[in-house]
Copies of this chain bind each other. A is one copy, B any other.
Amino acid sequence: MRLAIMGAGAVGRSVAELAPEYGHDVVAIADSSGAVVDADGVAVEDALERKADTGTVGSADPDDVLGASYDVLVEATPTTLGDAEPGFGNLAAALERDRHVVLANKGPVAERYDDVMALVADSDGEVRFEATVGAAIPAIATIEGVGPSRVTAVRGVLNGTANFVLTRMAKEGLSYEHVLAEAQDLGVAEADPSFDVEGTDAALKGTIVANVLDGGGHTLGDASVEGITVLPTSALDLAAEDGRTVRLIVEVTRSGVHVAPRLVPEHDTLAVSGTMNIVQFETEHADRLNISGRGAGGPETASAVLADVDRLD
């Protein structure tokens, strides 16, 4: 397949680097200020070196990528809330040309799922988005395998930054502020960590799962969301005395999406450590399935994107 990649952050770069191993060609890649398009295949290494040197992958207009001769648009620009732009517009442009879209960007399927599916209905292109929920964890494929109507609930730990902070607070007895600063030093938390620690990122993933289970109808605004920013170390100490710990749990049921810190037994299946993620599927005929793995990271997310490319007809 010929891939056009919108976004040259950690995920876009990893997709570009791994594509040849999966048998695909990169014919275009764009960052926010420039692009390179080459129908014979972009020289990926050169483009990424140029980005490191000059700040952009190339001198073409990013919008030229949308008009290139590709089979699949990989949308890996940053997730935005509300109108989910520019990701949504990029997706729409590809579907209007009957091209497939694989999303790493959560925005379009968390905020505008019904709009996305309306465009899909009028297009020969498909949209896949395995990478948006738990990166390397095959959450969407598992729901598709079981059948959405036979998954009765999904629970999970879906934000590695928040989980790292909670794990360290509980283990070392340190304050939220202290551990957050440490996570920022390690590059586990961003300079503005609000998306992660306030539960927004986990809620976006829960909303995407809810849309898959119900065939649409959910946006971030419908989710109840509570983060970990006001959690005192003393709460974790009290939990530990009782053999329990606290995790930021996303819960998706037929009554909606709920994100909040929850008490779980210390060695519970959901009590993954550090930046690990886990998704637990409650099914009608096969009891519980639990899948844990790396919920973030360039190559981890890119491998989910490229698995989606392989699933396209």
Chain A contact residues, CB within 8 Å of chain B? 14, 18, 22, 135-138, 141-142, 145-147, 150, 267, 269, 283, 285-294, 297, 299-300, 302-304, 307, 310-311
Decide: A291 near B291, CB < 8 A? Known: A141-B145, A302-B285.
Answer: yes
B146 to A307, Cβ gap below 8 A? yes
Decide: A293 near B303, CB < 8 A? Known: A141-B141, A141-B145, A147-B22.
Answer: no
B293 to A290, Cβ gap below 8 A? yes
A287 to B300, Cβ gap below 8 A? yes
Sample of 27 A–B contacts (CB below 8 Å): A18-B285, A135-B286, A136-B286, A136-B289, A137-B289, A138-B138, A138-B141, A138-B145, A141-B141, A141-B142, A145-B310, A146-B307, A147-B310, A285-B303, A286-B293, A286-B294, A286-B299, A286-B300, A286-B304, A287-B293, A287-B294, A287-B300, A288-B293, A288-B294, A289-B291, A290-B291, A290-B293
User: Whole-angstrom distance between the alpha carbons of A15 and B145 in the complex?
Assistant: 16
User: Whole-angstrom distance between the alpha carbons of A304 and B145 in the complex?
Assistant: 8
B292 to A269, Cβ gap below 8 A? yes
Closest chain B CB from A285 CB (angstroms)? 4
